[in-house]
Structure 1
């Protein structure tokens, strides 16, 4: 729980809040796949204070081939005692890589309030469906108030002499780690990768936040279970062991623990164990936040790229996305919504603005990388009004043309990011576009090249074009692979279609606020992932900083 607010007579106290971690499991889900079990995922919806409509909050991972999934992705949200925080959990059988929920099989839903969940710690509710006569299984949700612990545990686990479970081979082992809850049950907090055909697996080094593992209680009992993976989703239990983080830290390491199958222990008179777990190493590392780096002086540099291709429509006609005589264009609305927040993180408020896909004066040369203010020696625009002014001044001077090429803009910013890989600067490229990418091959290669650099790419789709190809650039489900076969080192792309925030039932101002939140929500994690992969720690806080924006990790 957060510390109590400071008592100051004559002032207004801050509203008490707690950060709560939700964990999901499901049991007896229906089989909707013809030749296998379902591949379930939970989608979490919230009803923001004062609004009588559901908004998607986040999604769990997909669990492949399982009617009884234990989801390892945790959902964090702020609990406010004075509000009735309504929640809805929808369960889907995932059928493809599409983020469009209509492309997947809907299994049902559960509705509760966060207050009910927090008070009961764990609930089991029958999954509802439009046809009440169909059994859709049970959703299990647990809630735990999180400590403010800012540490993570890094460990490597191996095993020796595991039981052979496969008839024609050995075993395909993986492990899960679960933490004990107040009512004596266990919830999964970590799941390893599967190591094929071995009785002596060596799993990759794992890193888990301490507050997720044990909520800062180093003596808390943890359960380590080993399973033999099976393609049909019915994994075979090998054995388990119990330990605590404090026991590992006390050492000595490596530490060997027997892997015991309680069923065998009861049935077999001379049973000893089903192998042994061995913790090779274990250490505690500090967790640095986005705000820690900003306070230490890391500079955020944002570049804006605007689509000037002909598919936007003739700017002299009202149907054009660049029509300047009917109020703010959609491009201007998106610039205002996102740019005003990015401004808070950019120290000098100076933004280079580049355009692509236009024919330029004086001879009509096609350019996919030009300065919108036509000043290559000083391409900067001051704050959002300066960006919009340059955009409006540029439109009458260029001819909208094409094609829609992203790679030149990405490589333009990449050149600057390559010069600052020490943690002193981080770059954000905001691309506003109306169309389908023409140079997808080169764009993927450029993104993979940039994935090792201090750079995030935000793409906002303007208008109602088919943006399905854009979703392939956003590596939420699988890391982006370039046509050359190279894989991105990090997920650095976030794509959001502006149209989904423009609704007749939603105040335009509220829609723009939601757009900004959705567009920018991944940047802090992308930022810290870069610093972590480069082992860059933040500098000590700079006390000459007079104003810092709020930490988005706490919003």
Structure 2
């Protein structure tokens, strides 16, 4: 608010900002390019809508200067105060500046006025019982039922991310000389407005002065919200967040299962194989290639190493069909066949988005592997039908091939889409995925050890600090 002698003026405010590092430059303000507010005319108390956003630095001194431009010079005695500037500041919350909503409003009068020239003003509750203007609609002329055009306001400017903050709306009858007649007001919030057109967004426009003086006074009309829309305008950071560091379904499944099962491996070195891709430099199709590009040593250090090898392989290979499972199953089976004494147990995790192209060969590979110390986990990614993989799971009917039935159930299959959390809580959904795919591993492990009569190795003796007697039990 700016107060001065009772004459009409045209006001425009200039805002200068001087950071601490420029304080030594005595002519900083004169050289700076000031920000400007809108022009307000025919009022002694201009209330500027335009806001200025500044970065705050705790360690720097930041000087501000405000200048007024007037059509006529301010009256008054030289050296005396000609008015007061009220500056209100607030820290911006971390909310999207790109969210907008559109609000056409209609007022229905309950008392006859001559044709009105009307506009509305939106005020934001900045501090308790103190409001600051955040928007003015256009003026609608010569109607008792004005409908204002849809307008957009950043959520930050309207409520600073606080959806329950009070928003006050005032309705005026516009006068050319600036002495606008106050019709009434009402209060709402972003949360209420976000409900859209409904019974909750019909507001009574009340003039407090009339309500206090007239017993039968109820309101000066009603304002109805006709529509509401939130439009998200993406930013540079949105693209960065959605870039290569955003886990896709393959990576999410691999990380969820791998981070749990890796704790049961002593050296944390995992061979990682890909299948269904054309490899450089000749473009040959392979269903059994090392993700790290080293066929002689396909081992990766921990699940993080597997993830890194996976992302690197996506840059060098060309994904290509068909989807053959038997090569990778046979690859792991060769390792498992060489260690049958129970000292090692192998778990093969297959993540795929397609149907099986070599179903017969895959069944035969599973039947052959069912007598080996290994289990197979299959996670199906994408919208494909996975009926064939359900068949491989073998929970209801044991997998068979060429008249031979699998010695034991060693396959667990789950579709990834069943574990997508609609609320966006990927941590919880991936925890459920890991729980379900690993649930059968202990029983599969025990079934192999029991059928082979393999006893667990004796546990190592408990650690005894040096200098203390060794305790024995009888």
TM-score when normalising by structure 2: 0.46
Q: Which has the larger radius of gyration?
A: 2
Structure with bigger strand share is: 1
TM-score when normalising by structure 1: 0.39
